[in-house]
């Protein structure tokens, strides 16, 4: 609806869900929304069973990536405020989708570039999701992420 007749601007995640049925917001978009990465992400990325596509609208830029049906899990309906909801990947699944879809996504350098706030991730949920996927690339990435989380624990004794 045109701005003079619109009561509120729809959230980009809601728009993404409506543009391609059966998709959910994931990757960097979902990670930024969950405060797992420090960067602003100007494009809303979703995954789903459909063909990859890119859509530029007056409401923003939306990309849709294809994933196989057996990987369509790990998302939930999220309250976006103002009566709006959308399907968004849990942070751990958003990370796995990102690793899965990016060439070299399981490389330590790529994972470190994300500057993940590891305290926002549930490593037990990450393990459960990666075992459900049963993909070697995701297993390698998860092992590295877990090693990063373990290395960042304080190594000093409190007084």
Q: What is the pLDDT of residues 20-59, one digit of tens each?
A: 999 999 999 999 999 999 999 999 999 999 999 999 999 9
Place of tokens 């960067």: 39
SS3 10: coil
DSSP H helical ranges for 80-135: 91-101, 108-113, 123-133
Per-residue confidence band for 159, with pLDDT thresholds at 50, 70 and 90: very low
Residues 56-101 have pLDDT tens digits of 999 999 999 999 999 999 999 999 999 999 999 999 999 999 999 9
Please state the pTM of the whole predicted model. 0.90
């Amino acid at each position: 609806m045109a701005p003079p007749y619109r009561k509120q601007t729809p959230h980009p995640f809601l728009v993404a869900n409506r543009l391609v049925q059966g998709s959910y917001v994931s990757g960097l978009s979902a990670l930024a929304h969950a405060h797992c990465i420090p960067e602003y992400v100007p494009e809303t990325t979703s995954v789903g069973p459909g063909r990859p596509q890119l859509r530029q609208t007056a409401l923003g830029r939306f990309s849709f990536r294809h994933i196989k049906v057996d990987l369509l899990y790990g998302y939930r309906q999220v309250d976006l405020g103002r009566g709006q909801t959308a399907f968004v990947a849990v942070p751990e699944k958003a990370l796995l989708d990102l690793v899965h879809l990016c060439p070299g996504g399981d490389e330590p350098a790529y994972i470190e570039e994300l500057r993940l706030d590891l305290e926002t991730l549930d490593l037990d949920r990450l393990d459960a999701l990666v075992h459900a996927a049963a993909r070697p690339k995701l297993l390698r990435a998860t092992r590295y992420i877990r090693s990063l989380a373990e290395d960042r624990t304080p190594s000093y004794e409190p007084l």
